[in-house]
Chains A and B, each alone.
Chain A
């Protein structure tokens, strides 16, 4: 079967690729487009390390087919910095030491950004439940939640 040609937009840039129809979006992002910031932790949608934005929706790219990207807008961690400046969330994660090994960090940042876009003033409980789809084994979540809430405060200005 011939590979499919897909045209999509990633981090604001138009790009295209060829893929098998059963390839996941995660696989194409990492292996073809070499955007390795998005991670594979489980490939069953249980850990959130592969989180990306798909047409403004937070999704697991391991459970999305690459062919579904046709005509859509995708945002990955590589697009989070703005004009060479770290996004407030990225800064806060570093300031609060909200990362240790860092493998879950891209997923958390994408998920946290999606939260604050919808709910700029979340409670601690709301933050924890929104981020329940992202697993972290190093931090116990404490400094991650602190960083997100601090970022929310600063983003509200």
Chain B
């Protein structure tokens, strides 16, 4: 099989329509089973003891009283986990430093954030488990802590890791990749990554307008409504059955196997229906604890995080400080661009450095570019991905500066972006030369959209911003079986993270076969049923899952043709497949009536056995998605309150397999962006403890905070997907922060360089003016 599966422009029957989603009935009746809904016979309940300090040495842990409590069946600390040396090891397609992973799961020498797991118990009831946790005595030596990224980068900042020396790498386009000399002083800066294209110094020399600004964002949480939940059963033969909420059960299996020194085959992970992930459910938190407790207690162990624990101890996004310098000519063409993006990674290295630096300027065709990114550790939970990780931090700065440039040069904010837009053939600074992309189309459509021309009243303003995400493919697997009645069962390794991929994959398979999509049922298999499948992230679910489902379908169709050929006693080259039927390729072949899929299926035993198709592939050819958003706001100048009047999204989906699901992704991502812009932030006290670990004071948007979100789906087919699909789930969250800041600037003439744009901040600036 070749690496790419080419796009075919053909008439479609099923794709692009809106059949009802197959998982819908279970979800509206409450039947769908999420992690916390799973119960195994004889199960125990697990609870975790978490550090109340942002940074402290663990001097001793006394679990004796907890162990002695009636009903407690197991107590674990870091002693129950192997220490792992510092090694970056591929785990499936992931790369992880297991020295860090094991320490995040259970603290070893130090606790590194408020909420860091220190010990865990399993008991016969939740009440007893909680009581036991309170009986564990930990002696801490509190150390000075540092959280803010700028503070953490200071020379005299408290160090989280005395053995960390900054690793630097410089990548020059068309030139070499060099490693920077390792400094002799340790630092909280784990990594520095630099991209260079052309010569920014000469570019800035020729610039007519130069703008230099610094921006800052706060950490935000993915905010999934389902807290993490796992149920693990470790049986006497050393086998593990693990139910858990995850975006990638194969990755969870790999991480658990490594941490617990088990064969991968001994762990079966059954993914439960996912109650939201957005990137935050790709890592292990409770799973290794539940398995280890179960191993000791010899009974299943169920563990569910409280909302408080989710905020303190899962993986919120990084806060960042972004420095942006743009040089433009008189016409508004950007001729030099420089950025530095400093991002927290939390207690261990691993901020989305590559993603932030790659997406920073890539929407625009710029001759001279330098982007520097820093991965900085600090005393807050280790970051996990959050929908286009890293990109919103960079985009808030870049899209704000472009807006300022447009205003200074008296150019329409969409026009300035059209002038600079990346197109097919644009050479990016990180190496890729773009194939066919749809950025300019989104800009042109946004400009012509009726919302762009609605007259604005006093204290109202309009802002524009754009986003880009490269999207990925990676290891994907599918196994397709034609049932004895001609209906189809597809088992995929792709987890449906609510984008409706099960429905979309069924539609693609139905399209290939030429049958109704309700004859195809797609389910996510557990890890024992398929080959390794990468996490559903990088907007790959429909794209990559689609490719392997299509290839599995084509595989099965070939087999169907073979069976028809056998039945007619002709060569397989003389059989074609059309609209759900095997037909003779021409009348010369013979007077054979077409055979339907169900007829072929019914005769399968006689013609050789059950009919199936499968595909396992490291999928390539993910098509980048670009989006343009327009936001109108109204500012209450007496209170600083910002109201979103209108929000418009124009984004390229390549091909919308199921348009309603694409719209849903656009709208959901945009509202997360609105929350990021206006109200969401992690608030830390002077003691380094999180002050708002709940939905009361961590303010996600509610239904009355947002209007209807107008959506226009652009379709510029991805040349490397049979139906032209591009991943779309991540781009929508990138533009809102800058679009809203730009809109506020348009309304009241004040520009904001920090997030969130909360009323006290806005009011202060208004009064200051």
Contact = CB atoms under 8 A, between A and B. Distances in A.
Direct contact of A and B (CB under 8 A): yes
Interface of A: 20, 30-31, 34-44, 46-47, 49, 76-78, 80-81, 86, 90, 93-97, 99-106, 109, 124-125, 127-129, 131-146
B703 A128 contact: yes
Interface centre among A125, A129, A139, A145 (most CB of B within 10 A): A139
B700 A145 contact: no
A135 B695 contact: yes
Contacts of B694: 42, 44, 46
A128 B703 CA distance: 5
Nearest to B37: A36
Contact of B28 (A86, A137, A140, A146): A86
B28 A93 contact: yes
A4 to B, nearest CB: 15
Contacts of B37: 30, 36
A40 B704 contact: no
A41 B304 CA distance: 11
Contact of A138 (B26, B33, B34, B664): B664
Given A31-B39, A138-B276, A143-B664, 17 more contacts: A30-B36, A41-B695, A42-B307, A80-B29, A97-B18, A97-B500, A99-B27, A100-B661, A102-B23, A103-B225, A103-B275, A105-B27, A109-B28, A131-B703, A135-B225, A139-B671, A140-B670
Given A49-B225, A135-B695, A141 B706 contact: yes
A137 B664 CA distance: 11
Interface centre among B276, B663, B700 (most CB of A within 10 A): B276
A36 B38 CA distance: 9
A47 B225 contact: yes
Nearest to B665: A100
A141 B34 CA distance: 21
Contacts of B450: none
A102 B275 contact: yes
A86 B669 CA distance: 29
A86 B225 contact: no
Nearest to B33: A36
A97 B25 CA distance: 11
Given A44-B696, A138-B668, A97 B703 contact: no
A79 to B, nearest CB: 10
Contacts of B127: 20
A94 B25 contact: yes
Interface centre among B24, B273, B700, B709 (most CB of A within 10 A): B24
Contact of B700 (A43, A90, A102, A135): A135
Contacts, number: 177
Contacts of A102: 23, 26-28, 32, 273, 275, 498
Contacts of B695: 41-42, 44, 46-47, 135
B178 interface: no
Contact of B36 (A40, A42, A77): A40
Contacts of A124: 708
B668 A132 contact: no
Nearest to A144: B703
16 contacts: A31-B39, A39-B225, A39-B226, A41-B227, A41-B695, A42-B695, A78-B29, A78-B30, A101-B225, A101-B275, A105-B27, A131-B702, A140-B671, A140-B672, A141-B706, A146-B708
A135 B672 CA distance: 12
A103 to B, nearest CB: 3
B703 A94 contact: no
Nearest to A22: B127
Nearest to B20: A94
B704 A136 contact: no
A93 B26 CA distance: 12
A90 B29 contact: yes
B31 interface: yes
B735 interface: no
Given A100-B664, A103-B225, A140-B668, A128 B275 contact: no
A9 B244 CA distance: 33
B21 interface: yes
B479 interface: no
A34 B37 CA distance: 8
B274 interface: yes
Contacts of B273: 101-102
Contact of A39 (B34, B669, B704): B34
B316 interface: no
A31 B45 CA distance: 12
Those 7 A-B pairs whose CB atoms lie nearest each other, nearest first: A37-B30, A102-B27, A103-B275, A140-B671, A100-B498, A101-B498, A46-B695
Nearest to A126: B704
Given A36-B33, A78-B29, A95-B20, A132 B704 contact: yes
B615 interface: no
Contacts of A144: 703
Interface centre among A38, A46, A78 (most CB of B within 10 A): A46
Contacts of A94: 20-21, 24-25, 28
A32 to B, nearest CB: 11
Contacts of A30: 36-37
B30 A106 contact: yes
Nearest to A27: B126
A134 B703 contact: yes
Contacts of A128: 703-704
